[in-house]
Amino acid sequence: MSAPAGTTPAAAAAGDLAVHPAWLPDAAFAALGARRVTVEIPAREWPAMSAQVAQTVRAEVAAATAAHGGAVVGAHEDPDVVLAVVPHSDNDPESFVFVRDAGSTRITAADPRGLLYGLFHLVRLGEAAFEGEHEVERHAPHTPLRMLNHWDNIAVHPVMGQVERGDSGGSIFYADGKVRADLTRVGRYARLLAAAGVNRVSINNVNVGHLETRLLGDLLPEAARIADVFRPYGITTHLSVSWAAPVRLGGLTTSDPADADVRRWWAEAADRVWAAIPDLGGFVIKADSEGQPGPFAYGRSHADGANMLAAAVAPHGGLIHWRAFVYDHEQDWRDRSTDRAKAAYQHFVPHDGTFADNVVVQVKHGPLDFQVREAVSPAIAAMPRTRVGVEFQVTTEYLGHQKHAVYLGRMWSELLGFAYWGPGSPTMADVAAGGHPDGDGTRIGGLAAVSNVGDDEFWTGHPFAQANLYAWGRLTWNPGADPIAVLDEWIDLTFPGLGDQGREVLHRILDESWETYERYTAPLGVCFMVSPHSHYGPSPDGYEYTPWGTYHFADRDGIGVDRTRATGSGFTAQYPAPWRDVYESPQTCPDELLLFFHHVPYTHVLHSGTSVVQHVYDTHFDGVERVLAARDAWAEAAGHFPAALADRVTERFAEQVRSATDWRDVVNTYFFRHSGIGDERGRAIYR
């Protein structure tokens, strides 16, 4: 564990890279940096991470005060603000207490890691941190597992590229087939993540290639270099591993979890890995999923597989994040008895209670795959004795590839707040934090999401997609936060000095941008009207008749998937009451999920009072109007933003308008060709 390379705040703030500063421009530290600041961290035998974070806190304060006219002072020198590690009543090393009284602002924490989060709390508050009085506020994360998964390949994949489903250029970790020599940018990324609240990062794609498998072998020192860069910001590194590693790397002839040599190989691999990275978080694994190898090949269950790995990493305090994205990707479209939506539940719920204590079963938030609108996954609520983690996607695989301005805070907020047992009951976020009503409170799975960052100048392709990364971190810390207030934080930090007009325009563009995207793409929860493979642009029948299990069965009479117990696939039975009944009937099913749960005629009348087909026309015309309005609003306000950023946004809006118009016309024409029903209002629908 060497000292962090090139990641001092001074270097990070100095703009030495041609990279946008995102939500940590120099000016974000102006209020704090202008103060007289005391940092009190007692000398103690801290764990390595805490010790390094302590250095980071001191360095951040020193850099900010040097830049903005304040000073680092002793406690007796009448500081404006004190950041102090003190004995605490709780033992959450990430929590902190904020208070302001008698003209003094104070952050206290039991561990330097909490102090760092407190520091960034002050940064967010700006001048407000030093005005008036503040009651004592304790801030603690909702869950200790707040993770980003990188789908970065070391070797550029011939089809999927370097960052699978990435839309922000190459990887910040890898270039030219190896770990970058210069990890300065990773250090800056770590700082951004810490300021948003993320504390764990897996650094390679869950589809693990041959080269990436070697991260457990000869490339381990390279992985350790990355971990060294994350550590000073309180971020734990995880590795994605291949189930086939014992064969690929160890030369064994099997990966059977019951095989003693396999178990020994993994135990020795874990010994080796933790020797190199003593505080590694653990392994993420995609097994028996979309062609990846897994325990099924040996007649073993996912519990067998996960527990075998868990045993190997347990002596080191490691976790296994075992993904539940297991389904038949070679389904026969003619087989109406198979419903991909049921797969995660079917594969994992029977094993509830059998997973080891250090296994997190990581379930996607919806039963399909990160659609703009799908039901929540019932599997999340069905394993009270399992650590269930929930997986989201910050990268916008199905949501416009960071070419469209789509803010996802509201979508995540709605999902995280979904009350599985009816109003007032524990939410998705609660379950992820161990709060299943039938659980014992210890089964904490946490929250994970696929990162949207690449080596792009603005990190995220579309500069506004930075807001998604920021919001992801903030919502993992506090799922109950108002996502529009979070957006406001991002605006304040990212665009210091932006006037009211600029702020108002950003809200106008972004606040309801998720709903806008839904309006011009796949309607009413029907899902998967995207172009196969790329997942960008419309192709209403693109997944019909494929082996992927994602169909909508449109014919001349109607559309949608009957997932009822009465006449359909029976998927509704996987939900607890009341949802199993709410979704079962088209009379009670929410409009926005109607086609997810029911096959209905085009003339079916929604709760809104319009027919399905007219709803499609109305929302699609309106969706494009909204995009045009957003583009026009941007055109008026662009001058308030830095020119390079403004140019990028303007360029993206041109593509969004083109794409949204194409979506509108394709979807409208598709529904017209199938239904034969024209638009009530006589707008143009191509034949």
Give the catalytic positions in this structure. 290, 369, 397
Integer Cα distance of 451 and 453 in angstroms: 6
For 36, phi then psi, to 5°, come to: -90, 115
Min separation Cβ 537 and a second copy, Å: 9
Integer Cα distance of 16 and 7 in angstroms: 11
Residue nearer to a second copy on the CB measure, 157 or 565: 157
Strands 600-601, 558-559: pairing is: antiparallel
Min separation Cβ 178 and a second copy, Å: 19
Integer Cα distance of 462 and 260 in angstroms: 50
Alpha helices (H) in 197-342, listed in sequence order: 210-213, 220-230, 245-248, 260-276, 302-313
The CB-based long-range contact list for 498-503 (8 Å cut-off, 24+ gap) reads 498/640, 498/641, 499/640, 501/636, 501/637, 501/640, 502/637, 502/640, 502/641
- Tell me the β-bridge partners of 72: 37
Integer Cα distance of 662 and 320 in angstroms: 43
How buried is 451 (Cβ within 10 angstroms: 0-12 exposed, 13-18 middle, 19+ buried)? buried
What sign for the dihedral angle of Cα 39, 45, 46, 49? positive
C-alpha angle 315-316-320 in degrees, rounded to nearest 5: 95
State the residues that interact with a second copy by CB under 8 A: 158-159, 333-334, 336, 532-533, 538-542, 544-545, 553-557, 662, 665-666, 669-670, 672-676, 686-687
Look-up: residue for tokens 């019951």?
Answer: 258
Look-up: residue for tokens 């360029």?
Answer: 651
C-alpha angle 452-457-460 in degrees, rounded to nearest 5: 15
> Where is 174: in which H helix or E strand?
strand 174-175
Residue type, 142: H
Residue nearer to a second copy on the CB measure, 650 or 669: 669
What sign for the dihedral angle of Cα 12, 282, 162, 213? positive
DSSP state of 36: E
Min separation Cβ 547 and a second copy, Å: 10
Look-up: residue for tokens 């070391």?
Answer: 154
Min separation Cβ 518 and a second copy, Å: 20
Bond into 367 cis (ω within 30): no
DSSP state of 86: -
Residue nearer to a second copy on the CB measure, 207 or 466: 207
Rounded (10°) angle between helices 112-125 and 48-68: 30
The alpha carbons of the chain give a radius of gyration, in whole angstroms, of: 25
Min separation Cβ 552 and a second copy, Å: 11
Integer Cα distance of 120 and 32 in angstroms: 10
Min separation Cβ 411 and a second copy, Å: 27
Q: Any residues with CB less than 8 A from the CB of 370 and at least 6 apart, and which?
A: 364, 392, 393, 397, 398, 399
The answer to whether the beta carbons of residues 248 and 242 sit under 8 Å apart is: yes
Q: Which of 401, 517, 419 is nearest to 168 (CA)?
A: 401
The pair of three-digit structure tokens given for residue 363, joined into one six-digit string: 């379930």
Q: DSSP string of 325-371?
A: ----TT--TT-TT--GGGHHHHHHGGGTT-S-TTEEEEEESSSSSS-
Q: Which of 474, 462, 377 is nearest to 428 (CA)?
A: 377
Min separation Cβ 674 and a second copy, Å: 6
- Tell me the β-bridge partners of 449: 148, 392
In this structure, the dihedral spanned by the alpha carbons of residues 420, 423, 428 and 431, taken in order and rounded to 10 degrees, is -80
